[in-house]
Amino acid sequence: MTSVILPGTVIDGRPATLGVLGGGQLGRMFVHAAQALGYDTVVLDPDPASPAGRVSHHQIATGYRDADGLRELAACALAITTEFENVPAEALAELARTRPVAPAAEAVAIAQDRIREKAHFARCAASGGVAPAPHAVIEREADLADVPAGLLPGILKTARLGYDGKGQARVATRDELAAAWASMGRVACVLEKMLPLACECSVIVARGRDGQVVSLPVQRNLHRGGILAVTEVFEGNVPAASADIAQAATIKIANELDYVGVLCVEYFVLDSGELVVNEMAPRPHNSGHYTVDACDASQFDLQVRALAGLPLAPPRQHSAAVMLNLLGDLWFDAHGAPRALPWREVLALPGAHLHLYGKTEARRGRKMGHLTFTGASAETARGNALRAAALLGIEPF
């Protein structure tokens, strides 16, 4: 198997092709980064008009388990990555029989399952990492009675297929816990103690096949309604001691998985200052979108390099950055009627970088794009981001 695919490689008269499973905005930005290095790209996504498919050289519009689609992907791409974590791990395993695949099916399978994910975090914590929230696994009726009283009030989360706060219920009593578990269809869940959060942050690392790891700066994240709303990245966004611990813990989590590719780990900073690890995403992350405009290597550049077996030079942030997520809600007025967005005024603000994902239909909660403000100082970037937020109708932060 070829493990290094140098830029400029030509095969059968065409540039070497890199593949991605999933055609969402993360796939689209992967495609942009791969194309900048001269690679051709192929996207597999059931939607023939997916955001990544629209900009890729090749696309395969089949399901993720479709044997013909996977065969075609392996025939076309020299190496394959994924852009969403609920891609069937078996599909990655199948592709890995003939092509380098990063991240590996096993690492993705762990990230897909909160029970296995928390067990991995706990193992890393035992040798100096950061611990997950106190929690209990609920897989059968009898587990409900065994839940320690100290975990309530808590948050019940399905072990699989949760995202953007979906598949979660806040429960204060045992009765509420039993009712919430029943309403989730009695699937495997984790009950987590509700913690007093001072703020949330995340760390993105990239790790190569040779074990080289590089880290991006710690991102401070504000969630609204369970969805990322704002990411702020500049000196002092989180206490320096917490930032160092979170970066070291993320590198440990990646190393212990023998991970290859880009990995994002989310943390809580508690009122006490203590750090708690929440979850990981085996791919670039919404909180890392600012890297495209504020760093000398973006999270997508690092994904391409890790996949192609190229060196991972340590990335440097050159501008303070504030990123606003643009959800479909903004495309409607207070009466639910479609409205035009004030891009002319927004783009007149210094340091504005608008990214729209080419989605033709706005829906509430749907990620339509993001807007990053860069500046020479945190105050400049924040000031302009707040002006844009006011123009767009995003609540101040």
Footprint of ligand ATP (CB under 6 A):
133, 155, 157, 162-166, 192, 194-195, 197, 200, 223, 226, 266, 278-279
Nearer residue to ligand ATP within complex by CB, 157 or 283 = 157
Place of tokens 């996207």: 43
Report the DSSP pairing between strands 227-233 and 219-224. Answer: antiparallel
The answer to whether residues 224 and 395 touch, using CB atoms and an 8 Å cutoff, is yes
Residue 374 exposure: Cα atoms within 13 Å on the Cβ side: 14
Q: CB 126 → ligand ATP: shortest distance, Å?
A: 20
Closest approach, Cβ 133 to ligand ATP, in A, equals 4
Residue with Cβ nearer ligand ATP (24 or 162): 162
Give least dist CB 55 to ligand ATP, A.
24
Instruction: Work out how close the CB of 117 gets to ligand ATP at its nearest, in angstroms, rounded to a whole number.
Output: 10
Of 157 and 355, the one with the shorter C-beta distance to ligand ATP is 157
The C-alpha atoms of residue 55 and residue 10 are separated, in whole angstroms, by 20
Task: Please report how close the Cβ of residue 264 comes to ligand ATP at its closest, in angstroms.
Answer: 9
Amino acid at 352: A
Q: What is the phi-psi region of residue 179: left when phi exceeds 0, alpha when psi lies from -120 to 50, beta otherwise? A: alpha
* Pick 32 or 135: Cβ nearer ligand ATP: 135
User: Min. distance of Cβ 167 from ligand ATP in angstroms?
Assistant: 7
Q: Which residues make Cβ contacts (< 8 Å) with residue 62, sequence separation at least 6?
A: 44, 46, 68, 69, 72
Smallest distance from ligand ATP to CB 227, Å: 7
Closest separation in Å from C-beta 34 to ligand ATP? 25
Residue among 192 and 301 whose Cβ is closer to ligand ATP = 192
Two tokens, residue 395? 């609540």
**Residue 157: CA count within 13 A, CB half-sphere:** 26
Q: Is the dihedral of CA 170, 158, 130, 306 positive or negative?
A: negative
Rounded to an integer, what distance in angstroms lies between the CA atom of residue 200 and that of residue 220? 6
Strand partners, 122: none
- Beta 189-193 vs 154-158: how paired, if at all? antiparallel
Least distance in Å: CB of 193 to ligand ATP?
6
For residues 72 and 300, the answer to whether their CB atoms sit within 8 Å is no
| First vs last C-alpha separation in the chain | 49
Phi, psi of 372 (to 5 degrees): -105, 135
Task: CB nearer to ligand ATP: give 190 or 388.
Answer: 190
Report, in Å, the least distance between residue 96 CB and ligand ATP.
25
- Contact yes or no for 317/295 (Cβ under 8 A): yes
Q: Which is nearer to ligand ATP, 39 or 357 (CB)?
A: 357
Complex with ligand ATP: residue 281 or 295, whichever CB lies closer: 281
Q: Which residue number, 278 or 380, has a Cβ lying nearer to ligand ATP?
A: 278
Between residues 232 and 266, which has the closer beta carbon with respect to ligand ATP? 266
Helix (H) or strand (E) holding 374: strand 367-375
Q: Where are the beta strands (DSSP E) in 271-363?
A: 275-281, 320-327, 352-356
